[in-house]
A and B are shown apart, each in its own frame.
Chain A
Amino acid sequence: GENVEQHPSTLSVQEGDSAVIKCTYSDSASNYFPWYKQELGKGPQLIIDIRSNVGEKKDQRIAVTLNKTAKHFSLHITETQPEDSAVYFCAAGANNLFFGTGTRLTVIP
């Protein structure tokens, strides 16, 4: 089955700086790569996703890049704000989703 690895497990940045979270996957059949944000006591919320026919996607301060050859994808958050503090999960799959272990992002005001 698919194996998704996510790094780093924790990340602290100053407000206004950028944050980058990286994931790798193992199954070349995976064709869908979403990113979720989870706040305390809540379920994961989709923030951006990318499909295998696209190399990059951007939505305001959030961008995702995908390198299918290397089997890795990354989340980029620019101009971070305190409300970006949360746990972020990457996922990969084709019929099912396999999740990374999460990155706890702390944005320091």
Chain B
Amino acid sequence: DAGVIQSPRHEVTEMGQEVTLRCKPISGHDYLFWYRQTMMRGLELLIYFNNNVPIDDSGMPEDRFSAKMPNASFSTLKIQPSEPRDSAVYFCASSRDSISNQPQHFGDGTRLSIL
């Protein structure tokens, strides 16, 4: 089975530009999670969806960040406008059920650099 697929793997862009990160979860998984990983703050949950509906977005840093899941096989995380402090590795993960019942499977991430 294909795992969680993220694109692009690397993104370098200038401050102020819009950035869109993409994720394809594992087929049949009803939960999708977006995480950010930095040296300073480790792995942080930004938002998660259940059946394409956002459930908890309390980890989203500010209004410049938005996430959508238009269907069961695709999600985007958008940053507009981007700032240098947004530089991090962004991971998408999916699970068949809630974390109490099924484990999360991670993609290989998007390494984002904002100049």
Contacts and interface: CB of A to CB of B under 8 A. Distances in A.
Contacts of A98: 45
21 contacts: A31-B100, A32-B99, A36-B106, A41-B108, A43-B4, A43-B91, A43-B106, A43-B107, A45-B106, A46-B103, A93-B99, A95-B56, A95-B100, A96-B45, A96-B48, A96-B56, A96-B99, A97-B33, A97-B104, A98-B45, A99-B42
Interface of A: 31-32, 34, 36, 41-46, 49, 51, 89, 93-102
A30 to B, nearest CB: 10
Interface residues of B, number: 20
Interface string B94-115: 0000111001111111000000
B43 interface: yes
A98 B45 CA distance: 8
B99 A101 contact: no
A97 B106 CA distance: 13
Interface of B: 4, 33, 42-45, 48, 56, 91, 93, 98-100, 103-109
B78 to A, nearest CB: 20
Given A43-B108, A44-B106, A45-B106, A97 B99 contact: yes
Nearest to A100: B42
B34 to A, nearest CB: 12
B9 to A, nearest CB: 9
